[in-house]
Amino acid sequence: MGTSCAGDPAPPETAGSSEESHPVETLKLSDFKPVSRYQMPATRVEKARFPAIDLHAHPYVDNEAELDEWVQIMDEVGLDKSVVMTYATGARFDTLARLFSKYPDRFILFCGFDYTGFEDPGFGPAAVAELERCVQAGARGVGELGDKGKGLFYSKPTPAYGMHIDDPRMKPLIEKCGELGIPISIHVAEPIWMYDDMNAQNDGLMNAFKWRLDNQEGILGHGETVQTLDNAVKANPNTTFIACHYANCSYDLSILGGMFDRYPNLYADIGARYAETAAIPRTVNRFFQQYQDRLVYGTDMGTDPEMYRTTFRILESEDEHFYDHNISSYHWSMNGYGLPPEVLEKVYRDNALRILSPPK
What's the predicted TM-score (pTM) here?
A: 0.92
Alpha-carbon distance values, 6 to 3, 9, 11, 359, 360 (Å): 9, 8, 14, 65, 67
Per DSSP, the chain holds a count of helices (H) and strands (E) of: 12, 10
**Domain boundaries, given as residue ranges, for the chain:** 40-356
Checking DSSP bridges between strand 160-161 and strand 266-269, what pairing results, if any? unpaired
- Rounded-to-integer distance, Cα 42 and Cα 106, Å: 31
For helices 125-136 and 171-180, give the axis angle rounded to 10 degrees.
30
284-340 pLDDT, tens digit per residue, is 999 999 999 999 999 999 999 999 999 999 999 999 999 999 999 898 999 999 999
Residue 285's nearest CA partner among 315, 329, 319, 249 is: 315
- Rounded-to-integer distance, Cα 65 and Cα 351, Å: 31
Residue 292's nearest CA partner among 349, 214, 230 is: 349
CATH class of the 40-356 domain in this structure:
alpha beta
104-155 pLDDT, tens digit per residue, is 999 999 999 999 999 999 999 999 999 999 999 999 999 999 999 999 999 8
Mean pLDDT of all residues belonging to the chain = 92
Sequence-distant (6+) residues with CB within 8 A of 345 are 49, 50
Neighbours of 205 (CB within 10 A): 19
- Rounded-to-integer distance, Cα 143 and Cα 116, Å: 16
154-207 pLDDT, tens digit per residue, is 988 899 999 999 999 999 999 999 999 999 999 999 999 999 999 999 898 888
Q: How many CA atoms lie within 13 A of 99 on its CB side?
A: 21
